[in-house]
Amino acid sequence: MATPVSAPRGMRDFLPADKAKRERVLGVIRSTYAAHGFDEIETPVVEDFDRLHAGLGGDNEKLAFNVMKRGLAASDLAEAAATDDPDALADLGLRFDLTVPLARFYATHRAALPQVFRAVQIAPVWRAERPQKGRYRQFVQCDIDIIGEAGILAEIELLTATLATLDTLGLAGCRIRINDRRILFGVLDAFGFAADEHSSVLITVDKLDKVGTGGVIDELRSKGTTPAAVDALAAYFEQTSVTAEATPLTATTVAAALPEGVAPDAVTALASIGTALETAGVRGELVFDPFLVRGMGYYTGTIFEIEHPDFSFSLGGGGRYDGMIGRFLGEQVPACGFSIGFERIIDLIDDPAGAGTRSIVLVHDKAAEPERLLALKTQFVDRGERVRLERRTKNLAPLLDRAAASGFTHFALVGRDATRADDLELKELSAPE
């Protein structure tokens, strides 16, 4: 029996039709971001090990694929084993997100960049995840970031560009939940959680969508978290909705969803974002969620997440991370970003193939002269059309089905005397069911 030959676990091959669809969708995302003033950059797939493990990437650092040093001798391996420090063998690593490389990129090229830099990065990243539906070890991220803008204009532009992209892609039913890390910590303080409990409590609260309010309270009690604070949180859960079903971004509605006096500056900022988007007529739904956490520890202010009613996981997210770039530069630089989870949205999108351009398969006999086929093909290409030559088979149906699945829209049978494109009768292809 032949040994199965497949891609590494958690990684995938893409057949031509799948690859074509992915590139067309990425083209829509790129063009929409560009229309909103963002410039695309590219960074290496590897970064220095120490930079990837500097505490900037949160739990994702534990999932990094490390690259072993070149030229290691047996004595080096033995020394690393003796110290029980396998990381001593690595000096590079595959990037696990695009934010850490962006921070390094900005620190490297700051002098050549505008004062407020609007960046696009669309590229693969790698994490040693446990593969499952919607979660892979190699996947594409679509990031936009604004560096150098401390005010809410950054959040407004990111939200506007993201909502426009979702709309252009035809992703109906999406909405963006929004919160602020300052509100989260203010809520925990108001309930009486100790400062050294905040991180642990937020890890549990981040499971709210999966385990419900009862599950969150049970886990906090099992951890031995401050009992009075847990009681106060439980009472709050009973008194108010925590599912962000329809809480618009106004100062009144946001403040009403919180304990009195929590993070007034953050409340005002969120309300201003909501007012600005509404006034500008931006299409899309934004709702306030007082228990949106986002797992990344580097977020310092506003955070957002894309949700869809048909899925339990988010389709993207981001937030403000003002403290990250300063780790490289030695001075603080405001930054905010938003990422669309490309692998999670690609299957939800109707293929934007074509955009009015015909794709033609020229079906020819085995004996057809190559120079005549090339001349015919060139005439169609010169018209701006996509063309493929296919040798005729006994049963045409499978050939035409494969062509339609690859995005071709028309076909023509090349007769013995055809020398001009206008001599051919083009017929429409229908996609196989």
pLDDT of residue 76: 63
pLDDT in tens, 300-318: 999 999 998 877 788 999 9
pLDDT in tens, 3-41: 778 898 889 999 888 898 899 899 999 999 999 999 999
pLDDT of residue 127: 93
pLDDT of residue 416: 86
More confident residue, 357 or 381: 381
Separation between Cα atoms, residue 113 and residue 106, nearest integer Å: 8
Burial 211-224 (b: 16+ CB within 10 A, else e): eebeebbebbeeee
pLDDT in tens, 201-255: 988 988 888 888 899 999 999 998 999 999 999 988 887 655 545 577 788 888 8
Q: 163 with 278: CB under 8 angstroms? A: no
What does the angle CA 154 – CA 160 – CA 161 come to, to the nearest 5 degrees? Answer: 90
Q: What is the mean pLDDT of residues 326-331?
A: 84
pLDDT of residue 82: 60
**Of 130-134, 158-162, 219-223, the least confident:** 130-134
For residue 427, pLDDT beyond 60: yes
For residue 286, which of 181, 177, 174 has the smallest C-alpha distance? 177
Span 175-307 CATH architecture: 2-Layer Sandwich (3.30)
Separation between Cα atoms, residue 21 and residue 36, nearest integer Å: 23
pLDDT of residue 125: 95
β-pairing, 66-68 vs 175-180, is unpaired
pLDDT of residue 178: 94
Q: What is the mean pLDDT of residues 185-192?
A: 93
For residue 356, pLDDT beyond 60: no
pLDDT of residue 203: 87
Q: Do domains 7-172+314-352 and 175-307 have the same CATH topology?
A: yes
Domain ranges in the chain are 7-172+314-352, 175-307, 359-428
Instruction: Give pTM, 2 decimals.
Output: 0.84
Q: What is the mean pLDDT of residues 343-368?
A: 79
Phi-psi region of 175 (alpha: psi -120 to 50; beta: other; left: phi over 0): beta
| Those residues with Cβ within 8 angstroms of residue 221's Cβ, 6 or more apart along the chain or in another chain | 227, 230
Q: Any idea what DSSP says for residue 8?
A: P
pLDDT band of residue 72 (cuts 50, 70, 90) is low
Span 7-172+314-352 CATH architecture: 2-Layer Sandwich (3.30)
pLDDT of residue 244: 47
Q: 386 with 361: CB under 8 angstroms? A: no
Separation between Cα atoms, residue 202 and residue 224, nearest integer Å: 15
Separation between Cα atoms, residue 70 and residue 91, nearest integer Å: 9
For residue 296, which of 274, 278, 318 has the smallest C-alpha distance? 318
Q: 169 with 31: CB under 8 angstroms? A: no
On average, the pLDDT of the chain sits at: 87
pLDDT of residue 354: 46
pLDDT band of residue 185 (cuts 50, 70, 90) is very high
pLDDT in tens, 102-129: 999 999 999 999 999 999 999 999 998 8
Q: 36 with 163: CB under 8 angstroms? A: no
pLDDT in tens, 329-347: 888 899 999 999 999 898 8
